A and B are shown apart, each in its own frame.
Chain A
Amino acid sequence: MKRINGMLLSSLLPFLLMVVLFLFVPLIFMIYGSFQADGRTGLSLNQYAEIFRNAYYHQAFKNSILISFLSSLIAILFAIFATYSITRFSKNTQNRVLIFANLTSNFAGIPLAFAFIVLLGNSGLFTLLFKHFGWETLSSFNVYSWSGLVLIYIYFQLPLAVMLLYPVYQGIQSQWKEAASLLGASPLQFWLRIGVPVILPSIAGTFSILFANAMGAYASAYALTGSTYNLLTIRIGALTTGDIFAKPELGSAIAVLLGITLVAAMLINEWLTRKVRRDLS
């Protein structure tokens, strides 16, 4: 039975048109642009050579990877314990905490950066408080510094980590614990031998999503100091839209490299997720 399906065709066509126009076309233009010399001329590997030669861009890669790794690690460590604690409460409380996590996960970018300026900026609430008590080291904390940015990154990673890990703990069934304790295992032994090995792939998968999320983040750092942080996304933005120093071809090349990193992180997550499902079935 091979008849042309009117509904399928008439709905798929506009959808494909949109996806091609606003996902594939820009992607192709970006990749093509990354192989052009400055000013859209000729084909060359100049842009990639420039990235590999220029220590400034090495630094951008290093900074982006470092802050993404650090913020993901801290967020996931807190989330591993907090999310497990959440599952020990009643369904109602669990739902409330999750709704709150979902709510704050929307609180990112410019508003979030601003909230931290209010707290820890030059005349921030905590800065004043610390000054009042004479805590020098704390009051001299600078929200515009790298450690300030890490705090902000942790803020937007934390709710995401909780929401991603919550279903993972649902997979650990209480029967397993009962069975293990009947066989004489202590809670510590249960977690070491059964619990952790079961959830480890999911934790690693969640970590790779968090990492990708932080690598692609732009607005918070931009809100804090404009273009002064040497992060990949900030460099891409500045190279693409900067009025004086615009080098869109170089920006495209960095964007391609960042995109490859993110795709890799996503694929690692996919692979790990599939690993979990096979183990449990």
Chain B
Amino acid sequence: MKIKRPFYHYLTIGAVLLYLIVPLLGTLIYSFSTQWHKTILPEGLTFHWYKELFGDSVFLKAMGRSLILSFGATVLSLVIMVPTIFSIVVYAPRLEKFIQSLIVLTYAMPGVIIAVGLIRAYANSGISMVVVTVGAYFVGILPYMYQGTRNSLRNIHAVSLMEAAEILGAGQFTAFLKVILPNIMTGILVSSLLSFSILFGEFVLVNLLVGGSFETIQVFLYKKLNVSGHIASAIVVCYFILICILSVVIVKVTRSKKETV
């Protein structure tokens, strides 16, 4: 059965999609064009900017730093947050209110605000600001890790599972590691990928806290903006492809989870 839809439904969605796609397309074409200053269409197409970009060791190092920073903060959050949320959901549900208020607080504290406080608190304390950035990232991804982990725990009825495991004689830690964790793996994976992709695009904190001394991909991009538009657009394209890959993985993992349950 084909549903008849009025034309304006296509129009509204089309307008929004067009607005969202055009800047992406423009950047994509620009990154492949040789010269584009006077003509309406690029004067030629080339891979030159990508070759130059990937031959630039500064770029590769910045990429490496971004990966380390985002990966490190995500892993740290996994190791600390998942057991915490598990314990709260199973043993102290009253504390969920507390976590939820924390989340509202983190939403209300964007990078700029938290950076001001972090600089005042730690700039002259001798603690490396890179470590401070990781800590700030931990707080920043708290909402995503909480949502994902809590929802997975609810889906598998963690409380009854734990009761069953403990009746059968498993200790708390064993039950958590052997029963709960394998069952919430996909949910945690999705939250981690989401957190990772958010952190990978983070600029405000890393720029204000460490700036030039620990150049991540976003800081590198910012520096390139006024140097070469073509190189900058190549960076943007690479960055967007990476987000696309992460999103595809997230969608695939989420789908496969739904199918098995």
Contact = CB atoms under 8 A, between A and B. Distances in A.
A182 B24 CA distance: 46
Contacts of B161: none
B227 interface: no
Given A11-B84, A233-B110, A259-B109, A26 B117 contact: yes
Contacts of A28: 117
Given A11-B87, A26-B118, A19 B139 contact: yes
A217 B110 CA distance: 8
Nearest to A270: B104
A251 B113 CA distance: 9
A223 interface: yes
B34 to A, nearest CB: 14
A164 interface: no
B168 interface: no
Interface in A63-90: 78-79, 81-82, 84-86, 88-89
Contact of B80 (A14, A82, A84, A101): A14
B158 interface: no
A126 B36 CA distance: 12
Contacts of B16: 78-79, 82, 158, 162
Given A22-B118, A252-B116, A216 B91 contact: no
A92 B76 CA distance: 36
A5 B229 CA distance: 58
A266 B26 contact: no
A140 B236 CA distance: 26
Chain B facing A: main interface SS: helix
B87 A29 contact: no
Interface string A24-44: 011111100100000000000
Interface string B23-35: 1101101100000
Nearest to A18: B138
B: interface residue count bin: 35 or more
Given A29-B121, A114-B221, A248-B119, A125 B203 contact: no
A217 B111 CA distance: 8
A30 B239 contact: no
Chain A facing B: main interface SS: helix
Interface stretch (A52-60, A116-124, A190-198): A116-124
B19 A240 contact: no
A128 B38 contact: yes
A128 B39 contact: yes
Contact of A123 (B36, B92, B115): B36
Contacts of A203: none
A255 B113 CA distance: 5
Which residue, B88, B132, B236, has most C-beta atoms of chain A within 10 A? B236
Given A7-B173, A115-B236, A266-B108, A123 B20 contact: no
A223 B224 CA distance: 11
A113 B120 CA distance: 29
A200 B150 CA distance: 29
B203 A107 contact: no
Nearest to A113: B225
A255 B112 contact: yes
Nearest to A122: B37
A54 to B, nearest CB: 18
B186 to A, nearest CB: 17
A23 B107 contact: no
24 contacts: A7-B173, A23-B109, A26-B114, A26-B117, A30-B117, A33-B116, A33-B120, A100-B17, A103-B244, A104-B20, A106-B247, A107-B240, A108-B201, A109-B201, A109-B204, A110-B203, A110-B225, A115-B26, A159-B20, A218-B112, A233-B112, A240-B116, A240-B208, A258-B112
Given A25-B117, A110-B218, A218-B112, 10 more contacts: A5-B87, A6-B172, A7-B176, A12-B87, A30-B117, A82-B12, A109-B203, A110-B222, A217-B110, A263-B104
* A-B pairs, 6 with minimum CB distance: A26-B117, A216-B110, A30-B117, A11-B83, A22-B135, A115-B23
Interface of B: 3, 5, 8-10, 12-13, 15-17, 19-20, 22-24, 26-27, 29-30, 36-40, 80-81, 83-84, 86-88, 91-92, 102, 104-122, 132, 135-136, 138-139, 142, 172-173, 176, 197-198, 201, 203-204, 208, 211, 218, 221-222, 225, 229, 232-233, 235-236, 239-240, 243-244, 247, 251
Interface of A: 5-8, 10-12, 14-15, 18-19, 21-23, 25-30, 33, 78-79, 81-82, 84-86, 88-89, 97, 99-104, 106-112, 114-119, 121, 123, 125-126, 128-129, 132, 154-155, 158-159, 162, 212, 216-219, 223, 233, 236-237, 240-241, 248, 251-252, 255, 258-259, 262-263, 265-267, 270
